[in-house]
Amino acid sequence: MDRQRLYRTLGILALLVGTWVAAAPFSRPLPGGAPFSFEATPEVNCRSPLVGSFRGDRPVAEVYVAPRPQVGDRTMEITIDCGGRARFRLSFGAGMALAGLVVLVASRGSFGSLSR
Q: pLDDT for 87-111, tens place per residue? A: 999 999 999 999 999 998 888 765 5
Q: Which residues contact 102 (CB under 8 A, 6 or more apart)?
A: 11
User: What is the distance between the alpha carbons of residues 33 and 36, in angstroms, rounded to a whole number?
Assistant: 9
- Mean local confidence (pLDDT), 55-75: 77
- Rounded to two decimals, the pTM is 0.72
